[in-house]
Amino acid sequence: MRIGLLGTGNVARALAHGWKGAGHDVLLGSRRPGERADLGLPVAGVEEAAAHAEVLVNATPGDVSVELLRSIGAEALAGTLLVDVGVGLSEDYTQLAHPNSSLGEQIQAAFPRTPVVKTLCTMDATAMVAPGELDGPSTVFLSGDDAEAKRTTGRLLADLGWPPSSQLDIGDITTARGQEHFAFLFMGIAGALGAHTFNIKVVPRKTSADGAAR
């Protein structure tokens, strides 16, 4: 599959290497591609990355993502699955850029012909692409309005090492705010652990032998 990734930071590079290792054709998109030729990955302008993509991944800072996507244009993005992993935070990381909404919702509203799936924003780049190196299985969430887009995203998550048993579809794109608002709890946990590479697992209530909750 052809995957375009908007951004050239740690997250975009980690995901690109992960999907490239799984056999996908990846292309990073940068506003200044000439300055990013030393990444060991193919880099082009953001418009070229979008045109290349069967799946486009937003890995840009969440406070500039919508503006960047608008520079590419709604026509260019129409019909392309957009996987959004961004979170909008203030420069001092104390405020959400979308406190009563989410970046995922803002992108979907701005580009109604582009199916948006929110995922992977509740962990750091290392955990995104190496879940098997964590101390046990954990959970990755999916939010979005389009069922087929979520199925495709699920297959791409599996290529990064996330089996279906670790994937939890939590609902439509409005549930993306739960994923993004987790950012503050993530920072608290990271401070307590003294490390950023970890993840959480949803642990449901035990069931009895007949399958009923108890």
CATH code at position 77: 3.40.50.720
Mean pLDDT of 166-182: 98
The answer for residues whose C-beta is within 8 angstroms of residue 46's C-beta and 6 or more apart is 6, 29, 30, 31, 68, 71, 72
**30, part of any domain:** yes
What's the whole-model pTM score?
A: 0.95
Asked if residue 33 belongs to a domain, the reply is: yes
Structure confidence at residue 213 (pLDDT): 62
Number of folded domains that form the chain: 1
Q: Is residue 17 part of a domain?
A: yes
pLDDT band at 166 (very low <50, low <70, confident <90, very high): very high
Q: Residue 148 corresponds to which tokens in the numbers above? A: 């087929």
Phi, psi of 100 (to 5 degrees): -110, 20
User: Is position 134 within any domain?
Assistant: yes
Answer yes or no: is 163 within a domain: yes
**The pLDDT of residue 173 is above 90:** yes
Distant-in-sequence, close-in-space partners of 29: CB < 8 Å, separation ≥ 6: 4, 5, 6, 7, 43, 44, 45, 46, 47, 48, 49, 50
Distance (Å, rounded) from C-alpha 43 to C-alpha 167? 30
What confidence score (pLDDT) does residue 214 get? 59
Q: What is the mean pLDDT of the chain?
A: 95
Domain enclosing residue 180, as ranges: 2-193
Q: Decide if 212 is inside a domain.
A: no
The answer to whether residue 210 sits within a structural domain is no
Print burial letters for 67-93: b (CB count within 10 Å at least 16), e (below 16). ebbeebeeebbeebbbbbbbbbbeeee
Residue 203 resides in a domain: no
Beta bridge partners of 119: 142
- The answer, yes or no, to whether residue 50 has pLDDT greater than 70, is yes
Task: Summarize pLDDT for 51-96 with one digit per residue, the tens.
Answer: 999 999 999 999 999 999 999 999 999 999 999 999 999 888 899 8
Q: How far apart, in Å, are the Cα atoms of 37 and each of 20, 34, 40, 56?
A: 17, 6, 8, 20
Q: Which of 74, 79, 69 is nearest to 46 (CA)?
A: 69
Average of pLDDT values for 155-161?
A: 98
Residues facing 44 on adjacent strands = 29
pLDDT for position 88 = 92
